[in-house]
Structure 1
Amino acid sequence: MRADKIKTIIGNINDLPYKTILFDGTWGVGKSYAVNEALAGNPDVCKISMFGMTDARQIYHEVLFQLALKNNVGGKIGEIANNIIEGAAKVWDKVGQARDVVQNIANERELFLLLSKEFTFLHIVVIDDLERMNSNMNLEEIFGIIEELKQCNYVKVILVANTAEMSKDKKEIFDKYSEKVIERTYAITERAESVEWSKLHIHAQFIEKFLNLHKVENLRTLEKAQRFYDDVILFCEDCNKDEFLEELRLICYAIVVESTHNLYYKEDDPNNTDSVKKMVSSIENTLEHRIGKYLYGTKSSNNLTGMLLRYYQEGTLDKEQLEAEYRLFLKSGDKPNYYKTDAEIKVMLPDLKKGLLQAKNIVELNEFADSYMVWSDILEEDNEDVLTIYKNGLNKMLKQAVRDGKEEILTHSYDLFHMSSDKVKIIYMEENENMKEFLIETYVEHLRITTHGEKAYQFSYKLRNYFSNSYYHEIIMTKVDQLYNKTSFPVGDVDQNRYHTCYNIMYLLYHADKEKFLNYCTDIKKDCDKMSRHRIEVLSEEIMKDQKT
């Protein structure tokens, strides 16, 4: 049965001969959504979720406040207003007696049962998430409460559950007692045919087209996909072309839906002995390949899909990289590159080259270079000049990143940028490796000139840490002698920052060549004042002590 049939059933609940009914179906199919829609605006409804409830008697608390006392806020019985106590006194002869009852939480059941005798029209109790009840709760006791509620005057109970997800012990009790308490069970197996998507903040035209192609029954998954898209567009302040945002939304939905439900995953055929077919099947079953089945005809690159999948799985998204993908999208024209003719690709290449020349950061540079090389290689175009442009631009940007103290970029492999062109990958890794020597040269040159300031301290601290790295160690050993000068020692004008910078440099010199370092300290102390000598001795002793420990 489709979930939208729930509205029809509840719409006729006055005429139904049943006092207790159950809507049973898989999570996310829209049971609760349909029940809430059917009962919207009805003031004589009490909605209870078993999720988080610790005591079955809380059911009486909720029905008392929501149905009998019409106070949806709830609260302790002893705090209800005088007019409610006076209303309760209509059941008892004396207000005092009523006050005594409501002051005792154990009497919530008794109070509701008495007040319900005054009901003259239907009141509905909805108990949702039955399968999510606390493991310590007694399902048999809950069935007893449901049985007692349905015996009340003008009260009917609607249960909502996914009994397939009940724990084994709870399911045994359910099977044993449900027939005695539940008079009719409706199996909800399909999502509602008609859903008010706007209430779920989902674009109706988009989702109807999406569901026509991809059979998703779980409304919660679709809500989750929409929230992921809403998350991603927070990074898209400057990406205002509707076509791009539509593709972005499709990618987000594809990632969430396929990651959750594996709609396009195919079980291996145990009878298949063909190694080639097995390999093809394995490739087709990768998540990236399955997500691609949602994206036929889109203009966005595989890089964008990979980037968003990584964000979904790991929570890492580079805004600059996303904006670079947007600019690539704008330059790709009116249809996906994959479907273009040779002539159309040739027309596009100059724009990609221009984007490469105008790239503002490494992310953009890599994106434009990679895209240019992929399509120009397919056309067998000569692209050596573009590779040179890319190499020079990358070299310049990496050097600037090092000078700015942002050398963490050197730890990023080409995988981070989702590159496809082997030519671009090779150049990126070569320049990345070459830049490590430039990094050490930059730090040493700066410290050779000055050890004052925060930048000098940061450079010295990083050099000291890199000294234990096998790759950097060899480079530092070839450069460290340049630091043998008075600037590297706490001589003359010294503040706390420079003092720690000198310690880091002296640490390097000592560990690079202990004998040379000690001899230099002896010589330099001859030409400096007493406080400078004292500082050199203190730091030297500390460095040697650290080595012993």
Structure 2
Amino acid sequence: MKADNIKNIISDIDHLPYRAILFDGTWGIGKSYAVNEALEANPNVCKISMFGLKDTRQIYHEALFQLALKNNIGGKIGEIANNILDGASKIWDKVGQAKEAVQSIVNEREMFLLLSKEFTSVHIIVIDDLERMSDDINLEDIFGIIEELKQCNYVKVIVIANTDEIQSDKKVVFEKYNEKVIERIYHITERAEKVTWSKMNIHADFVEKFLEIHKVKNLRTLEKAQRFFEDVKLFCNSDMSEQFKEELRLICFAVVVESIENLYYKEIDSDNTDSVEKMTNTIGNMLQHRIGRYLYGIKCSTNLVEMILKYYEEGVLNEEQLEAEYKLFLNSGDKPNYYKSDEEIRSVLPILREKMLEAKSLAELNEFADAYVVWSDVLEENNESVLSEYRNILEEMLEKTVLDGKEEMLSYSYDLFHMSSEKTKRIYQEENKETMKFLIETYVGYLKKTTHGKKAYEYSYKLRNNFDSSYYHDIIISEIDNLYNKISFPVDNVDEDRYHTCYNIMYVLYHSDAEKFLQYCEKIKEDCDNMSRHRIDVLIEEIVKK
């Protein structure tokens, strides 16, 4: 049965002979959504979720407040007794005996059973998430409550559950009692065809076209995809075109839906001995390949897809790169580069090169250079001159980046920029390593001349901090001999800053070659005064302990 039918059933519930029904179906198929929509305009409804409920008596509590007293504020009756009595007196004037009952939550059952006798039209109690009930709750007690509610005047009960997910011990109870208590079970096997998408903040035209191709059954998955798109859209500038945002929405839906639903995952036959076929299936099952099945014909690059997937998985999104992707999108013309002819691609290449030369950030530079090399390689055109230009600009930009104090950029590989071309990847790796070498040479060169001042301390701290990094360790080892001189040790004119600077340098010297360092210290101490020797000994002891 499709979830659409739930609305038809509930619309006729006043005339149905059943006092308790169950809508059973897998999570996310739209059971609760359809029930809520069907009952939206009905004032005589009490909705209760078993998820998080600690005591079955709360069912009576909610029924009392939401139905009998038309009060949805919840809370213990004892705390708001006067409000309850005032509300009850409007329904039934014989409530003198209720004064004592309202002092305890235990008596909410009696209160509801008493007040329900005055109902003159159907009142509906919806018990949702039956399979999510607490371990402390006895399913037999719930069935007992449902049976008692059925006996109330003009009360009907709707239960919503995914019975496949009921715990095994409770499943035994369910099988034993459901036939006696639940008068009809409706099995929901298909998502509703007609959904008011606007209530879920999902663009109707988009999602309906999406679902024509990709058979998603779980409404919650679509809600998650929409929320992820709204998340990503926060990083978009206001001047980005609607067409770009539409493709961005499709990418977001593809990433979320396939990550959760695995619609295009194919089980591999373990008995299949065809190694080529098995390899093909394995590659086809990679998440990136499966996501690609949603994205045929888009103008946005695969780099953007990788970036959005990384943000979904790791929570990292580079705004500069997103802006670069948008510029690449604008320069791709009316249709995706993938579908262009040789001549059309050839006309795009000069634009990509120009954008690369004008790049204001690493993200833009890498994006346009990579795109140029990828498509020029497809056309089998020589791109060595552009690669040379890219290398020169990259070298300058990386050096400027680290000199501006943003050396953390060097710890990222080309993966940060989702490059596709092996040529640009290789150049980026080479220049990144050269910039690391340039950075260490800058630190060492400065410290070789002076260890006085805040700048010297900052450089020595970074040198020590980077020493244990796999990126910098070998580079520092190759340069560290330049710091074997007297000013690297706390002798002569020493203040607090210089003392800590010397500690950082000595730390690196010791961990580079302990024997050589200790021998040098003994040599230095021969020409020092007593206080200098003492300071050297103190620092050696501290460094060796660590």
The 5-angstrom pairing of residues 18-97 of structure 1 reads 18-80=18-80, 82=82, 84-86=84-86, 88=88, 95=96, 97=97
Measure, in 1, the Cα distance between the counterparts of 2:481 and 2:274. 63
Equivalence for 1:198? 198
Shift of 1:65: 0.7
- The verdict on how the C-alpha distance between 1:478 and 1:163 changes in structure 2, with shifts beyond 3 A counting, is closer
Alpha-carbon shift at residue 459 of structure 1 (Å): 1.8
Deviation at 1:437, TM superposition (A): 2.0
Instruction: List aligned pairs for 1:106-505, cutoff 5 A.
Output: 106-237=106-237, 240-270=240-270, 272-468=272-468, 472-483=472-483, 487-490=487-490, 495-505=495-505
Q: Secondary structure at the match of 2:386?
A: helix
Structure 2 counterpart of 1:389, which letter? Answer: E
- Displacement of 1:176: 0.9
Q: Which shows bigger deviation, 354-363 or 77-86?
A: 77-86
Gaps of 5+ in 2: none
> Does the CA-based 8 Å contact 1:306-1:418 persist in structure 2?
yes
Percent identity, aligned pairs only? 64
Q: 1:538 aligns with which of 535, 540, 545?
A: 535
State the Cα distance separating 1:503 from its structure 2 match: 1.7
The residue matched to 1:55 in structure 2 has which SS? Answer: coil
Q: Deviations over 1:339-374 (max 9, x none)?
A: 001111111111110111111222221111111001
Give the total of aligned pairs: 541
Q: CA deviation at 1:539?
A: 4.2
Instruction: Tell me the amino acid that sits aligned with residue 517 of structure 2.
Output: D
Q: Deviations over 1:59-115 (max 9, x none)?
A: 0100011111111111111133536325646868673x4211111211110111011
Q: Distance in 1 between matches of 2:467 and 2:129?
A: 59
Per-residue CA shift, 1:457-494, capped at 9, x if unaligned? 23212222444567745543443344356654456775
Q: Is contact 1:239–1:326 with CA below 8 Å preserved after alignment?
A: no
1:388-445, CA deviations, whole angstroms, 9 ceiling, x for partnerless residues? 0111111112222332343333332223322211111221122222233212101112
Aligned CA distance change for structure 1 residues 39 and 428 (closer, same or farther; 3 Å): same
Matched with 2:520 is: 516
Residue 547 of structure 1 pairs with residue 529 of structure 2: no
1:324 is paired with a residue whose SS is helix
Gap change, CA 1:106 and 1:230, over 3 Å in 2: same
Q: Is the 8 A contact 2:489 2:536 kept in 1?
A: no
What secondary structure is seen at the aligned counterpart in 1 of 2:3?
coil
- 1:521 positional shift: 4.5
Asked whether the 8 Å contact 1:10–1:38 carries over to 2, the reply is yes
Letter matched to residue 31 of structure 1: K
**Alignment CA distance shift 1:67-1:454 (3 Å):** farther
The 3-state SS of whatever aligns with 1:547 is: helix
Q: In the TM superposition, what whole-angstrom CA distance separates every residue of 1:472-523 from its partner, at most 9, and x where no partner exists?
A: 4554344334435665445677554343122212334454533234323443
Q: 1:312 to 1:63 in 2, by over 3 A?
A: same
Structure 1: runs of 5 or more not aligned: 527-532
Distance in 1 (alpha carbons) for counterparts of 2:95 and 2:232: 62
Give, as a single letter, the amino acid of the residue that structure 2 aligns with 1:396: E
Letter in 1 for 2:136: N
Is the 1:489–1:536 contact (alpha carbons within 8 Å) kept by the matching residues of 2?
no
- Residues 166 and 431 (structure 1), Cα distance of their counterparts in 2 relative to 1, 3 Å cut: same
Q: State the Cα RMSD in Å.
A: 2.3
Equivalent position of 1:12 in the other structure = 12
SS across alignment from 1:235: coil
Deviates more, 1:283-292 or 1:398-407: 398-407
- Residue 295 of structure 1 and its aligned partner are, at CA, apart by 0.3
SS in 1 for 2:234: helix
Distance 2:413 2:275 in 1: 32
State the distance in 2 between where 1:71 and 1:128 align.
20
1:79–1:465 Cα change, 3 Å: closer
Deviates more, 1:177-186 or 1:315-324: 315-324
SS at match of 1:174: helix
Give me the whole-angstrom Cα distance separating, in 2, the residues matched to 1:161 and 1:232.
Answer: 33
Distance in 2 (CA, whole Å) between partners of 1:164 and 1:409 is 50
- Cα distance, 1:205 vs structure 2: 0.9
441-450 vs 253-262, which deviates more? Answer: 441-450
TM-score scaled to structure 2, two decimals? 0.93
Q: Give CA-to-partner distance per residue, 1:250-283, whole Å, 9 cap, x none.
A: 0110111111111111222355332212211111
